[in-house]
Amino acid sequence: MTVIAFLGAGSVVFTRELLADILSFDELRGVTLALHDIDPERLETAGLIARRTAEQLGATPEITTSLDRRRALDGADFVINSIQVGMYEATVRDFEIPAKYGLRQTIADTLGVGGIFRALRTFPVLDGIAADMLELCPDAWLLNYTNPMAMNVAYLAATAPDLRVAGLCHSVFWTVHDLADLLEVPLDEVDYTGAGVNHQAWLLRLEHRGESLYPRLDEKLEGYPQLRRRVRMDMYKRLGYFPTETSEHSSEYVPWYLHHDDEIARLRIPVGDYLGISADNVTEYHETRRALLAGEPLDLTREATEYAPQVIHSMVTGERRRIHANVPNRGLISNLPEGYAVEVPCVVDRLGLRPERVGALPPQCAALNRSFVSVGQLTVQAALTGDARMVRQAAMVDPNTAATLTVDQIWELCDELTAAHGELIPAALR
């Protein structure tokens, strides 16, 4: 029987969606679901969600819950990782402290000082997960959803090279989904290839029945001036390839927008947006728990299936799929650094997940990606070597941070964030 372990199962909204997708596959309706979280109440809520979801879908999984990670991992075939180290309180610190220095962020979970310090909080937990998996389920696949995606996958590639890891993110799919809707073409008739790094990949091909959709997108942008008032539409018009992450995300990975008031207004950039999203997630958690305890049914309607259930289904049944995933760059993108995590098309079936070689990105896209990658490489090296200066150096080369703060301010900010996060940061870097 297939065993699927959930780490961070207390992320109940995401867990609910994944469970609904998994148990909707006929071949997976009898799997074992091993749920783990470090918060007893959230773990209990995750167990309630799993049982209610199975009941509503008429599925018969075996469901276990445990505060002990090793117990959840023992014998697993697949491990879905969606942990958030430090939870909402750490996210608030990642926004409020930089804001005192005048540094603007929108999401702060991928790059910039927010991404750097989220990575440093997460790496020690990844060490424990990798060690436990290599002992208790060495053949299992770790399907990682935790951000910062590229840094986490690159760190695991360096510290646990024998671990089977794929970083999964829905940004490429939903970008194509939304463009198909905008351009009024059926999604299932659109062919596409995305490549780059997570949250800054590029649609190298976007075609409908063999014809590029880019000319149609150009016409749409000419006809609707308000549509041009978005960051990634602006980036597309200037770079020639559409970025695969939202405008909110994209704005903080480049030096061009967030430190200009007029650009924030022109492109309608929601500074600090993730704080509101995170607060809403906390509210939704409490509402979901209330509904479960009241015996109310869950809303299990889904517009599309998440990647992890598709990956699991393909590896179990042999049904071949092509998705986009994050894996170490082993000759996959020739003009990005070897070994760092890249996002590329991958084929998935019973033999596992196999990335496709893309070759060279367009030079302007690779140039932006390399500045993105440099931040992650220095952050990973800081953790590997225990060199606290590299944390500051990572922030110094971050495009948005460098465009906003002096080097003295960057060092002071990193000092303050390190102190604020305390024991969540590796001891050597405090």
Alpha carbon separation from 266 to 228, 269, 270 (Å, rounded): 9, 8, 11
Dump pLDDT digits (tens) for 282-292.
888 888 889 88
The whole-number average pLDDT for the span 266-294 is 85
Of all residues in the chain, what percent carry a pLDDT higher than 90? 89
Q: What is the pLDDT of residue 299?
A: 85
Q: What is the pLDDT of residue 45?
A: 92
* Domain spans of the chain, in order of start: 87-108+168-271+306-430
Catalytic residue positions, numbered: 170
| For residue 280, pLDDT beyond 90 | no
Q: What is the pLDDT of residue 341?
A: 98
Answering whether pTM is above 0.85, one says yes
Q: What is the pLDDT of residue 281?
A: 80
Fold of 87-108+168-271+306-430: LDH C-terminal domain-like (3.90.1820)
The whole-number average pLDDT for the span 330-353 is 97
- Rounded Cα distance between 239 and 156, Å, is 32
Q: What is the pLDDT of residue 12?
A: 78
Residue 357 backbone phi and psi in degrees, to 5: -75, 130
Q: What is the pLDDT of residue 298?
A: 86
- In Å, how far from its chain's centre is CA 46? 21
Residue 32 backbone phi and psi in degrees, to 5: -95, 130
Dump pLDDT digits (tens) for 219-242.
999 999 999 999 999 999 999 999
| For residue 198, pLDDT beyond 90 | yes
The whole-number average pLDDT for the span 175-187 is 96
Dump pLDDT digits (tens) for 38-64.
999 999 999 999 999 999 999 999 999
Dump pLDDT digits (tens) for 115-164.
999 999 999 999 999 999 999 999 999 999 999 999 999 999 999 999 99
Q: What is the pLDDT of residue 412?
A: 98
Dump pLDDT digits (tens) for 65-86.
999 999 999 999 999 999 999 9
| For residue 304, pLDDT beyond 90 | no
